Chains A and B, each alone.
Chain A
Amino acid sequence: MADNRKPQGVQMHPPGRGGGPMRHGMPFEKPKDAKGTVSRLIKYIGKSKYLLLGLFVSVVFISLAGLAAPYFQGISVDVLDILEGERVDFNKLFIYVGLLAAAYIVNSLFTFIQGLIAVRLARNTVRDMRRDLFNHLARLPVKFFDTHRHGDIMSRMTNDVETVSNTISMSLTVVVSGVLTITGVLTVMFILNWQMTLISFITVPLSFMATLLMGKVMRKYFKRQQALNGELNGISEEAITEYRTVAAYSLEDSEIADFDLSADNLKNTAVTAQLLGGMMGPIMNTLGNLNYILIAAAGGFFSVSSGMPLSVIQSFLLYSKQFTRPINELGNQWATIQTAIAGAERIFAVMDSPLEADEGKSDAKVDGELDFSHVAFAYKEGEPVLNDFDIHVNKGNRIAIVGKTGAGKTTVVNLLTRFYDIQGGSITVDGTDLFDFPKAELRKNIAIVLQDTVLFSDTVKNNIKYGREDATDEEIIAAARLANAHSFISKLPDGYDTVLSESGANLSAGQRQLLSIARAIIADPKILILDEATSSVDTTTELHIQEAMLNLMKDRTSLIIAHRLSTIRDVDKIIVLDGGRICESGNHEELLQKGGYYRKLYMDQFAGIET
C-alpha cells in the first residue's frame, strides 16, 4: 500500500510478521496482570541467555546499518548533484556506493543471524513451555479436568503456547530495533538541523491518532464480524451434524431461512469492516506525502535563508520515512503483545493450579481389606453427596453398590482411588489410613474399569500393557483370552499390533470394553473397581463382557457399581445408596425379602415392572 513512502531500498526490519493495515483491526484481549505475567515470561526466555544476548547484538547491528544506509545513500546521491557541465567525482561515488553496499550487506547478514536466533529462541521456549505445562497438567488432580472445559485446556496447550513464544522472539526484536532506530534517527536529525526535525514531526501525532482511532473502530467491526461468523458456523454446524432430524421433520426450509438471515448480516458487517481496513493504507500514504512536501518546502526555505546544504534535505526526506515506520510498527506490536500476554496468563493459570497432593510415606502393603468409616464428601459446598458412609469389605469380597443416578455411587470410586479426597471420617486399607499410602502404591493395587472406556491411539498390545508396563507378550495374550478379547483382536488387520484410531474409534463399544477389562486383568490388582457401562450392547457381546468380568473379579476385592442383574445377584453384599446414605445392605435374597427400597429399585431398574 505504502510503496511511495518507503525509503529507496528495502525496509530493514526482521522477517516474520506482516504489519499490514489489517493488523490494526484484529481484536485483541487485554491481560489482567500484565506486569506479573511479563516478569514470569522474562524468566522463561531468560533461560537462553546467550541467545538473547546474540539477538540483542544483532538487532543493534541491524539498526546501526539501517541508520547508516540512508546516510550513505544521501551522500552518494549528493555526489550526483552537480551543475550542468560539471563532471561526477567517480572516486568519491565509488567509495560512498561501496559503503552503502557494505551497510546493506551488514544489515542482511545480521538479519539472517537474528532470524536464526529468533527461531531457535522460539523453538526453545515453545518446547520448554509446552513441556512444563504438560508436566504440570499430567500431575493435576482429576478435579481439574472435571471442572475445566476440555477444548479450553487443549487450546492453552497448543495455540496459546505457540502465540506466546512466537510473539516473544518476534516482538522483542521489533521493539528493540524500533526503539533503537527511533532514537538513532532522532539524534542524527537533531544534529543535522533541529528546526527541520520539528517540522518533520508535524505529521507524527496525526498518523498516531489515525492509527489509534481507526484501530478502535476497526476492532469493533472485526469483532462483530467474528461474532457473526461464529453464529453462522453455529447454525450450519448444528443443521449439518443433525441432518437426520432436519430431514425427518422437514426442517430444511426453516434452517435455510435462519442461515440466510445470518449470512446477510455477515455480509453487511464484512463490507464495512473491509472498507475500514482498506482506508488505513491510503490515509497513511496521504500523511506520508504531506510530510514529504512539508520537508521539501521547509528545506527550500532554509537552504535559501540560512544556506543549508542540499544533502541535508535529502537525508531528511529519507530519515523522516525511517522513523514513521517504526512508530507505526510499535503501535501494531502493542495489540500483538497484549494478546500474547493474555495467552501467557492462561498458561500460567494452569501452571499455578495446585498439583495433586501426595503426602503418604507409609510402606504398608495393599492387600484388599477396605474400611470406610463415617465418610463425608461434597463436590460443592453445602450439597453433600456422601454422608456418614460406612462399609467394611473383607479381602476377596465382592460388593455391589446400587442406587439411582446421583446417589453417590461413582463418588465411592473417586474417594477410594483418591481422585477426590474425603472431607470427613476415614478410609483405611488393610488397617492403614488411605492418606498414609503414597498414591502410586495405592493406585498400582487398584484397577478400574470405567463406564466410558478410555483407550489410547496406540497398538492394541500397548493399550493392554497400559495396566502393567513390564508385561510379556504371553501375559498380554493370556489376559486378552481371559477378557474374551483374543478372538476379535486376532481378526484385526494387524492383530495385537493394530493401531487404534483416535480413542479406539475403529472398535465397537463392546470391544473397547473388553480391551479395558484385559488391561485391568494384566494389572493384577488387589482391589478392583467396576463401573458397569449403561450403554446398550448386543446380547452376545453382553455375555462376553459378563464372563470377562467374572474372570476379572476372581480372588480380588471388588467394588461394583452395578447396572446389570447378573452381576448383582452373585455378590457377597449389596449396598443400597439413597441420598448419600446407606439405606439398606445385605445380599440379594435378603434384600428382596425385606421388601424395602432395594426391592422397588430392583423392580424399577432391572425387571422393568412398575411398582
Chain B
Amino acid sequence: MKIFKGLKKYWFWAILSPLAMMVEVICDLQLPNLMSRIVDEGINNPLLSGTEKLETVLSIGGLMLLLGLLGAMGGMSSSFFAAKASQSFGRDLRKKAFGKIMHLSFEQTDKFTTGSLVTRLSNDITMVTDFVTMALRMFIRSPFMLVGGLYMLITMSGDFGLILAIACPLLLLTFFLFLRKATPLFSVVQKKLDKVNNVVQENVTGARVVKAYVREEHEIKRFDEANVDLVNTSYRVQKILTFMMPIIMIIMNLTVVAVITVGGFEVDAGNMKVGAIMSAMTYLTMVLMSFIMVGNMAQHITRAFASVRRVNEVLDTEPVIKDGTVTEGTERGTVSFKNVTFAYPSSSGEPVLSNISFDVKRGETVAIMGATGSGKTSLINLIPRFYDATEGEVFVDGVNVKEYTLAALRKRISVVSQKTELFSGSIRHNILQGKPDASDAEIERAITVAQAKEFIDSFEEGIESDVGEKGMKLSGGQRQRVSIARGVIRCPEIMIMDDSMSALDLSTDARLRKALKKELSDTTVIMVAQRVATVMTADRIIILENGTIVGNDNHERLLESCEAYQTIYNSQLKKGDETDGR
C-alpha cells in the first residue's frame, strides 16, 4: 500500500520499535523459566541447606528482576518509538490529505460530500495511525510470543504440542462461528440506532408541531417501537457474544488441566520436574493468548484497510480544474458568456444552462432573476471557475477564465454566496479574509459600505466580537452584511452577490446598493435576487427560465416586453403602485 510509504521518513523509529518489542518478548519468555528454576533449584532442592536455598532464590530472583526491568524498558521504549513513528506519519498524512482537500474542485467536493471528507480526515486517518502503532508493536509481539512460547513448550515435551494442536483449532472455530453470526448484526444495530436518533431529533426540533397537533402519544408510540426494536436487536448480538467468552475460557482452562495430567506422566517417568510443569502452564497460556491476539489482528487489518481505501480515494483525486498561466486581463472589469452550456458533472447530463450569451461592461450592475432551479447560481459559479462550462466560453477581463491561474482569476472577483459562510473568530478576522493586509481605515470603509457599521458599533466588543461557530451568534441579516464587507474590502473588479441581501429589509438593501454604486463605481456588480425592489435600479436585468435567457434589459423595457418579468413584478408589487404615493 503506497499510503504507508510515508513511514519511510521515520524509518529509524519504525525499525527501533519492533526491535525494542523483541527485547521485551525475549525477557518475558525467560521469566516463567526462571520462576520454575526458583522452585526446582531453590525451594525444592533437597541438596541445599536453608541459607543456600535462600541465596539461590535471591540470585535467580535478582536475575528475574533484572530481566523483568530490561523487558519493561524494552516495552516502554517500543511504545515510545512506535508513537514517534506512527504519530509523525499520521500528522504528515493529515496534512497531505487536508492540503489535497483544500485544492479539490467543487464537483469533487460535491461528490465526496463535505461530511464524508471531514470523517475521512478525522476518523479514518486516526484509524490508520492507530493501525500503524499496533502494527509496530502488537503485530510483532503476538506472533513472536506465539512462536517463542511454542518453542519453549515443545522443547520441554512434544506432548504439550499435541495439546495445543487440539486447542488451537477449537479456539479458531469458536471465534469464526460466533463472529460470523454476530458481525452482520452490528450494522443492523447501527441502522436501528439511527432510527431512534432520528425520532428524537424530529421531536426535539419539531416540538411545536407535535404539540400543536396534540400528537405526543403518537410520538411516544413511534419512539417506543424504534426503541424496543433497537434494544432487542442489540440484545441478540450481546447474547451471541455472551456464549463466546465462557467457551473460550473453558477451552483454555481445560488445556491447563491437560498439561497437569500429561505433566504427571512426564514427572512419573522422571523426564521433568514440578517447576517445569508450572512454567509449561504459563507458556501454554501465553501461546493461547497470543493465538487469540493474532486472530484479532485479522479484524484490525480489515477495518484499517477500509480506512486506508477511503483516505486513498481522497489522496488519489486530482483536481479537475487545472490552473492556467495568464495573470493579467486585457479589458478590465468585463464579463462575457459566449454560447455557454453547462451540466453538473455528477448529473445525468441534462444541461442546467443552455446557450447562454451576454456581455457585461465595466462598472455595470447586472441583476439575474428567475425561478428556483432556473440556473442562476450555476451561471455565476462559472465566472470564478467554481465549475467549468460544458460548452462555450466564459471571459473575464477579456481573457478566457481557463487561461488564468486560479489565484489570479479569483483575486479580481469577490463572491458573496447565498448561504453566508462565516468562520469562527472575530468580525475583523472574517473581513480580513477578503484582504489580509487591509488597514483599519479600509475595514472601516468596507463595513460602512456594507451597512454593517451600525450593528457592529452596537456590540460591546465592536469589530472584535466573536461571530461564533459558522457565525451563529449573528442574525441572518448581520451575517450577510459581514460577508458583503468581506467582499467589498478587496475593491474587486467584479463583485458577485448570490441572493446575498435576502435577509435585509428593503431600506437597508436600498442603502447598501446606493453605497456600492457610489464607493465602488468601477466595480462590475452581478447580483442574483428574488425581489423586484432590489433589481429595479440595476442597469440590466437578466431573466432566466429553465436555463435560458428570456429577457435581458432594464426594468422599464422588461416591464413592457418580457412576460416572465411582468409575472414576477405583479406577484410582488401588484397594486403597489397605487399606494406608492409619489
Tell yes or no: A349 within 8 A of B by CB. no
Tell yes or no: A57 within 8 A of B by CB. no
**Residue numbers in A under 8 Å from B64 (CB-CB):** 289, 292-293
Contact with A along B65-105 (1 / 0, CB 8 A): 10011011101101110111001101100110011011110
Partner of A115, one of B49, B245, B486, B572: B245
**Residue numbers in A under 8 Å from B361 (CB-CB):** none
A206 to chain B, nearest CB (A): 14
For chain A, residues 212 to 241, give those with C-beta under 8 angstroms from any C-beta of chain B.
229, 232-234, 236-241
Q: Given A112-B246, A289-B68, A565-B576, are A274 and B264 also a contact pair (CB < 8 Å)?
A: no
**Residue numbers in A under 8 Å from B102 (CB-CB):** 239, 243, 246, 252, 255-256
Determine the distance from Cα of A83 to Cα of B1 in the docked complex, in whole angstroms: 59
Docked-complex contact B69 and A286, CB < 8 angstroms:
yes
Partner of A250, one of B145, B281, B410, B534: B410
Tell yes or no: B208 within 8 A of A by CB. yes
Tell yes or no: B61 within 8 A of A by CB. yes
Contact with B along A503-523 (1 / 0, CB 8 A): 100001010000000010001
Chain B interface size band reads 35 or more
**New A-B contacts (15) at CB < 8 Å, excluding given A116-B242, A275-B80, A450-B208:** A3-B282, A90-B264, A100-B256, A100-B260, A138-B223, A244-B415, A244-B419, A278-B75, A286-B65, A293-B58, A417-B211, A537-B372, A541-B372, A607-B533, A608-B507
Q: Given A122-B238, A154-B200, A607-B580, are A274 and B87 also a contact pair (CB < 8 Å)?
A: yes
**Residue numbers in B under 8 Å from A377 (CB-CB):** none
Q: Given A111-B249, A248-B415, A296-B57, are A8 and B285 also a contact pair (CB < 8 Å)?
A: yes
Docked-complex contact B106 and A243, CB < 8 angstroms:
yes
Docked-complex contact A108 and B533, CB < 8 angstroms:
no
Quick one: closest B residue to A148, CB to CB?
Answer: B204
Tell yes or no: A164 within 8 A of B by CB. no
Q: Given A240-B118, A243-B106, A608-B510, are A123 and B234 also a contact pair (CB < 8 Å)?
A: yes
Tell yes or no: B277 within 8 A of A by CB. yes
Docked-complex contact A502 and B198, CB < 8 angstroms:
yes
Q: Which of A323-331, A385-393, A440-448, A488-496 faces chain B?
A: A440-448
**Residue numbers in B under 8 Å from A510 (CB-CB):** 372
Docked-complex contact A101 and B257, CB < 8 angstroms:
yes
Dominant secondary structure at the A interface: helix
Tell yes or no: B267 within 8 A of A by CB. yes
Determine the distance from Cα of A566 to Cα of B571 in the docked complex, in whole angstroms: 8
B546 to chain A, nearest CB (A): 12
B560 to chain A, nearest CB (A): 19
Q: Which of B39-47, B330-338, B395-403 faces chain A?
A: B39-47
Determine the distance from Cα of A130 to Cα of B229 in the docked complex, in whole angstroms: 13
Quick one: closest B residue to A282, CB to CB?
Answer: B72
Tell yes or no: A131 within 8 A of B by CB. yes
Tell yes or no: A472 within 8 A of B by CB. no
Determine the distance from Cα of A314 to Cα of B406 in the docked complex, in whole angstroms: 77
Partner of A242, one of B91, B216, B421: B421
Tell yes or no: B481 within 8 A of A by CB. no
Docked-complex contact B242 and A608, CB < 8 angstroms:
no
Contact with B along A304-333 (1 / 0, CB 8 A): 110000100110000000000000000000
Docked-complex contact A15 and B242, CB < 8 angstroms:
yes
For chain B, residues 205 to 222, give those with C-beta under 8 angstroms from any C-beta of chain A.
205-216, 218-220
A434 to chain B, nearest CB (A): 15
Quick one: closest A residue to B50, CB to CB?
Answer: A304
23 A–B contacts, CB within 8 A, in A order: A10-B285, A15-B242, A93-B264, A120-B235, A142-B211, A233-B118, A236-B98, A243-B102, A256-B99, A267-B87, A274-B80, A297-B54, A300-B42, A448-B208, A457-B198, A519-B213, A536-B502, A539-B567, A565-B573, A607-B506, A607-B580, A608-B509, A609-B580
**Residue numbers in B under 8 Å from A602 (CB-CB):** 579
**Residue numbers in A under 8 Å from B540 (CB-CB):** none
Dominant secondary structure at the B interface: helix
**Residue numbers in A under 8 Å from B312 (CB-CB):** none
Determine the distance from Cα of A145 to Cα of B203 in the docked complex, in whole angstroms: 9
Contact with B along A73-111 (1 / 0, CB 8 A): 100110111111101101001100100110011011101
Determine the distance from Cα of A3 to Cα of B209 in the docked complex, in whole angstroms: 59
Chain A interface size band reads 35 or more
Partner of B65, one of A9, A108, A290, A542: A290
**Residue numbers in A under 8 Å from B533 (CB-CB):** 607-609
Determine the distance from Cα of A1 to Cα of B290 in the docked complex, in whole angstroms: 11
Docked-complex contact A466 and B213, CB < 8 angstroms:
yes
Q: Given A443-B211, A565-B576, A609-B580, are A300 and B95 also a contact pair (CB < 8 Å)?
A: no
**Residue numbers in A under 8 Å from B234 (CB-CB):** 123
**Residue numbers in A under 8 Å from B169 (CB-CB):** none
Docked-complex contact B211 and A419, CB < 8 angstroms:
yes
**Residue numbers in B under 8 Å from A8 (CB-CB):** 256, 278, 281-282, 284-285
Quick one: closest A residue to B46, CB to CB?
Answer: A83
B458 to chain A, nearest CB (A): 14
Tell yes or no: A281 within 8 A of B by CB. yes
**Residue numbers in B under 8 Å from A446 (CB-CB):** 212
Determine the distance from Cα of A82 to Cα of B263 in the docked complex, in whole angstroms: 13
**Residue numbers in B under 8 Å from A285 (CB-CB):** 68, 71-72, 75
Quick one: closest B residue to A531, CB to CB?
Answer: B208
Determine the distance from Cα of A567 to Cα of B419 in the docked complex, in whole angstroms: 28
Docked-complex contact A158 and B228, CB < 8 angstroms:
no
Q: Which of B28-36, B348-356, B445-453, B547-555 faces chain A?
A: B28-36
Determine the distance from Cα of A287 to Cα of B44 in the docked complex, in whole angstroms: 24
Contact with A along B105-138 (1 / 0, CB 8 A): 0100100001001100110001000000100000
Tell yes or no: B196 within 8 A of A by CB. yes
**Residue numbers in A under 8 Å from B415 (CB-CB):** 244-245, 248-249
Partner of A503, one of B65, B205, B579: B205
Determine the distance from Cα of A303 to Cα of B44 in the docked complex, in whole angstroms: 10
Q: Given A77-B278, A297-B54, A419-B208, are A251 and B433 also a contact pair (CB < 8 Å)?
A: yes
